[in-house]
């Protein structure tokens, strides 16, 4: 018999009590070894399920993001912090308009007006005109001259409304204040209202600018396409094409002027917003309750 055969056939002998002790010990350690191994696997395995994070309640929210609890809770700085916490509504793809137009809130004055304008034309096919190499198809963003004029008028009305509704913020000349008396003369409630109105202006301005940019781009595309039109059956073809282009471009003439004025106003509103935040801080630090002071003087 060889050495290897001898090893295979020779049983390993040990005291039975000692072997039983080892067996009991291994059985006792097995669950811990398994749990340790599973724990190691868990650490190496990336999380595949996103962790849901609960919104912070007022009790657990950090103090820096809680609304101002000062008795003068109408101050501008408190309103400014609460304004930043306002959630932004996200439109679903089902509510997004077609033809590359922006997602303007249909419940707003501008949004509802534009929806009504777009409904004036329910064409499923783009407009087409004769060209040198076949039909010239106009961009699908163009829904006809009536819808084009209606949309421009809606934007024009919104622009003029912005210029009128928020002029008082500029008239207050917040960035030009130069002394504490001027700051303390401001009523906190009035400052808070202007802060809220400035934030409202910003939202409306963004919506107007997005719509204006999209529809101006559409008008430019239509004008370019009209330059490719050929009218062999018209005796005054060149004059006709020129008139068509001038009509499309002329429809937006007044809107372009008002939009430039609104952009200028937006710059001033932005400067006023920044100044109002600083003024709110100065007001808290430097101004006192005059009524309380008068009562204190009367007691003395």
> For 165-209, what is each residue's pLDDT tens digit?
999 999 999 999 999 999 999 999 999 999 999 999 999 999 999
What pLDDT, on a 0 to 100 scale, did the predictor assign at position 299? Answer: 39
Q: Which of 81-90, 101-110, 131-140, 238-247 has the lowest mean pLDDT?
A: 81-90
Partner residues linked to 137 by β-bridges: 128
Dihedral of alpha carbons 159, 164, 169, 175, sign: positive
What pLDDT, on a 0 to 100 scale, did the predictor assign at position 101? Answer: 72
What pLDDT, on a 0 to 100 scale, did the predictor assign at position 79? Answer: 46
More confident residue, 189 or 2: 189
Task: Please classify residue 214 by burial: count the beta carbons closer than 10 Å to its beta carbon, then call 0-12 exposed, 13-18 middle and 19+ buried.
Answer: middle
What pLDDT, on a 0 to 100 scale, did the predictor assign at position 99? Answer: 56
Dihedrals phi, psi of 131, to nearest 5 degrees: -135, 175
DSSP state of 67: P
Share of the chain above pLDDT 70, in %: 62
Dihedrals phi, psi of 229, to nearest 5 degrees: -75, 145
List, in sequence order, every beta strand (DSSP E) within 149-223.
Answer: none
Q: Which residues contact 104 (CB under 8 A, 6 or more apart)?
A: 97, 110, 111, 114, 207, 210, 211
Q: Place 106 in a pLDDT band, splitting at 50, 70 and 90.
A: confident
Give me the mean pLDDT over the 69-92 stretch.
Answer: 41
How far apart are alpha carbons 45 and 40 in whole angstroms?
9
What pLDDT, on a 0 to 100 scale, did the predictor assign at position 100? Answer: 61
What pLDDT, on a 0 to 100 scale, did the predictor assign at position 92? Answer: 35
Q: Is the distance from CB of 280 to CB of 72 less than 8 angstroms?
A: no
Q: How many residues does the chain have?
A: 300
Residue carrying the six token digits 């370019």: 224
Tokens of 206: 């963004």
Q: Place 103 in a pLDDT band, splitting at 50, 70 and 90.
A: confident
Residue carrying the six token digits 């239509």: 222
Q: Is the distance from CB of 290 to CB of 183 less than 8 angstroms?
A: no
How far apart are alpha carbons 74 and 9 in whole angstroms?
94
pLDDT digits (tens, 9 = 90+) for 260-278: 999 999 999 999 999 999 9
What pLDDT, on a 0 to 100 scale, did the predictor assign at position 104? Answer: 79
What pLDDT, on a 0 to 100 scale, did the predictor assign at position 184? Answer: 95
Share of the chain above pLDDT 90, in %: 54
User: 10 Å Cβ neighbour count for 159?
Assistant: 26
Rg of the chain on CA atoms, in Å: 36
Give me the mean pLDDT over the 206-226 stretch.
Answer: 95
């Amino acid at each position: 018999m060889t050495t290897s055969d001898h090893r295979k056939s020779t049983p390993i002998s040990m005291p039975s009590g000692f072997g039983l002790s080892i067996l009991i010990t291994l059985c006792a350690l097995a669950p811990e070894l398994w749990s340790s191994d599973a724990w190691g696997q868990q650490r190496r395995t990336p999380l595949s399920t996103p962790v849901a994070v609960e919104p912070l309640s007022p009790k657990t929210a950090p103090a820096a993001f809680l609304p101002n609890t000062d008795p003068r809770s109408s101050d501008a700085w408190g309103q400014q912090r609460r304004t930043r916490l306002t959630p932004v509504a996200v439109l679903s793809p089902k509510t997004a308009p077609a033809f590359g137009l922006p997602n303007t809130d249909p419940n707003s004055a501008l949004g509802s007006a534009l929806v009504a304008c777009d409904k004036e034309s329910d064409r499923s096919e783009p407009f087409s005109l004769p060209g040198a190499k076949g039909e010239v198809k106009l961009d699908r963003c163009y829904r006809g001259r009536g819808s084009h004029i209606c949309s421009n008028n809606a934007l024009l009305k919104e622009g003029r409304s912005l210029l009128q509704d928020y002029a008082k913020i500029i008239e207050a000349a917040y960035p030009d204040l130069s002394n504490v008396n001027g700051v303390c003369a401001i009523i906190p409630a009035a400052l808070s209202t202007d802060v809220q109105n400035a934030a409202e202006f910003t939202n409306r301005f963004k919506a107007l600018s997005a719509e204006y940019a999209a529809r101006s781009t559409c008008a430019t595309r239509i004008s370019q396409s009209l330059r490719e039109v050929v009218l062999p059956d018209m005796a005054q073809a060149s004059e006709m094409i020129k008139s068509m282009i001038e009509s499309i471009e002329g429809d937006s003439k007044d809107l372009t002027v008002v939009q430039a004025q609104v952009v200028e106003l937006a710059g001033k509103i932005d400067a006023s917003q920044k100044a109002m935040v600083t003024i709110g801080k100065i007001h808290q630090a430097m101004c006192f309750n005059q009524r309380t002071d008068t009562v204190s003087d009367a007691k003395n």
